[in-house]
Amino acid sequence: MDNAHSLSTPMVVCPLDTNKDPFRPKEDDEMILGLEVPYLSAITALLYLAKCTRPDIAFLVNLLARYSSTPTCRHWNGIKHILRYLRGTTDMGLFYLNEPSNSPNLVGYADSGYLSDPHKGRSQTAKRKTQNAYINSYVFTCGNTTISWRSTKQTLVATSSNHAEILALHEASRECVWLRSLVHHIRKTCDLSSTTKAPIIMYEDNAACIAQIKEGFIKGDRTKHIPPKFFYPHELQKNQEIEVKKIRSQDNLADLFTKALLKSIF
């Protein structure tokens, strides 16, 4: 792949027609790749990059890793597409600057993708058939550099996009609490000045989700099926530990981990 032409995006935008989706599961008339094709080795190497220094390929690597047991030529072409993208972006990575600031500037982004797996609408752990499939993602930056990110299928069945956004924000809030305590521990251990008590900004692109998190759990017709524990961000916001704000979808960094984006947006 060193001599291959480089690409500007890690994957192509999948069509709405699932029969034309290049990353659909193996069909009955397709052959499984043999052992001579290093599919698992490539997935392992790409997972290392996606977990350490290249979060921009996390979504596609997560998608292709689902077919490790039955990969086809279509999935192998997706691997080569990522390699061609990495070939042209070898100078990209995560760079951390030493900024003389007393504030860690920890900022979070949360998002949920709708119908991320339309071929097999099922949760990742429960393995139950569902009508809708969603994927959770969050990104946290410190000093304008990414320090924590995640892209994974939701483990619960979401009945709507609003429900899915609440679940995604709940997972992001748990990570936010841990990162906040970690930053305080590091600064205290290193005898650095204590950080301010300002709440950590959490960006979300769903207005209904933000309104419900602000009001807390209300047993209404549209939210009574959502367990109260998923309104944990409401308690954090009430205690001024986080502050959930609205952001446009095209400006939400977590949107990169839920779907394939157009070249201009990517």
Both 116 and 234 in one domain: the answer is: yes
pLDDT for the residue numbered 158: 73
pLDDT at 202 (0 to 100): 92
- 163 and 253 share one domain: yes
Same-domain pairing of 214 and 82: no
In a domain, 8, yes or no: no
> What is the count of structural domains for the chain?
2
The answer to whether residues 82 and 115 belong to one domain is no
The answer to whether residue 5 is domain-embedded is: no
**186 and 250 share a domain?**
yes
- So what's the pLDDT on residue 9? 87
* Distance between CA atoms of residues 39 and 67, nearest Å: 10
Query: Based on the domain organization, do 65 and 132 belong to the same domain?
Result: no
CA distances from residue 113 to 3, 32, 38, 116, 263 in whole angstroms, order as listed: 35, 29, 30, 6, 18
φ, ψ at 169 (rounded to 5°): -65, -35
Q: Are residues 68 and 116 in the same domain?
A: no
| Structural domain that includes position 140 | 106-257
Q: For the sheet containing 200-204, what is the strand order?
A: 145-153, 134-142, 106-114, 200-204, 242-246
- pTM: predicted TM-score of the whole model, two decimal places: 0.82
Q: What is the pLDDT of residue 126?
A: 31
213-234 pLDDT, tens digit per residue, is 888 766 666 667 777 778 888 8
* Contacting residues for 222 by C-beta, under 8 A, at least 6 apart: 162
- Residue where a domain stops, chosen among 88, 122, 144: 88
pLDDT of residue 12: 78
C-alpha dist (Å) from residue 135 to 63, 89, 131, 183:
11, 26, 14, 28
* In the block, residue with structure tokens 């924590």: 148
* 50 and 177 part of one domain: no
Within 8 A by CB and 6+ apart from 206, the residues are: 112, 161, 162, 165
Q: How many helices (H) and strands (E) does the chain have?
A: 6, 5
Q: What is the CATH number of the domain that holds 215?
A: 3.30.420.10
If asked whether residues 125 and 224 sit together in one domain, one would say: yes
Query: Is the CB of residue 6 less than 8 Å from the CB of residue 61?
Result: no
25 plus 111 within the same structural domain: no
Q: Is residue 97 part of a domain?
A: no
In one-letter notation, the amino acid at residue 203 is Y
123 within a domain of the structure (yes/no): yes
Q: Are strands 106-114 and 134-142 parallel, antiparallel or unpaired?
A: antiparallel
Residues in the chain where the model's pLDDT stays below 50: 116, 121-132
Whether residues 215 and 118 fall in one domain: yes
Q: Judge if 82 and 111 occupy the same domain.
A: no
